[in-house]
Amino acid sequence: LVLVVGLVNFFFRVLPANRLENNRIYQMAAAIRQKTEPGSIVMIAGCGSNPSIYSKIYIPYFGHRNVYILDWMLGKGFRFQDLKDKILQDISEGNSVYILSELLKPGKALQHLARNHDLDLKKFLDFFNGFEPEKKVPLTGDYYLIEVKAPEQ
């Protein structure tokens, strides 16, 4: 019985999950690689949901893009002003900066981030509204990127 359960689990759960065409997070990272420029930076929550948790590994490794993992940055004492300064510096150096859609709409990743770092969600979302959206880049499923540019002075 144990052998049968093990074989069923392997063939119907483990094996299909390891096929790249079935891996949503890999597909997202591959789409980011195809649709963004080398040197681009992608901001993610890095917590709260499977796509967010694994994207902090998949985007740099398979997408070949830098990531700002807000869960880690806020955990190291970054404030909104620090993050804004870093984004503006990157943009001024010619790097494209993108926000993953999980940071722009209610969901597990955003709720977890707010809970972990005692964030006011309204202030958090207002922070992103301070940047000018450049373009929307569709990824997989209902995920997308928003490229941001410096606000008009």
Residues 92-146 have pLDDT tens digits of 999 999 999 999 888 899 889 889 998 888 888 888 877 778 889 999 888 999 9
Closest by alpha carbon to 10, among 22, 27, 18? 18
Instruction: For residues 88 and 131, give the distance between their C-alpha atoms in angstroms, rounded to a whole number.
Output: 9
Report pLDDT for 39. Answer: 93
Q: Give me the chain's average pLDDT, please.
A: 87
Instruction: Please report, for residues 3, 10, 38, 142, the alpha-carbon distance to residue 100 in angstroms, rounded to integers and kept in the order given.
Output: 42, 33, 17, 11
Question: What pLDDT, in 10s, does the model give residues 38-48?
Answer: 999 999 999 98
106 Cβ neighbours under 8 A, 6+ residues apart: 121
The CA distance from 1 to 12, in Å, is 16
Query: Measured between alpha carbons, how far is 152 from 87 in angstroms, rounded to an integer?
Result: 15
Q: Alpha-carbon distance 101 to 87, whole Å?
A: 17
Say what the pTM is: 0.84
Task: In whole angstroms, give the CA distance from residue 31 to residue 66.
Answer: 14
In 43-56, which positions are buried (b, 16+ CB within 10 angstroms) versus exposed (e)? bbbbbbbebbbbbb
The pLDDT value recorded for residue 3 is 78
C-alpha span between 80 and 53 (Å, rounded)? 22
pLDDT of res. 75: 87
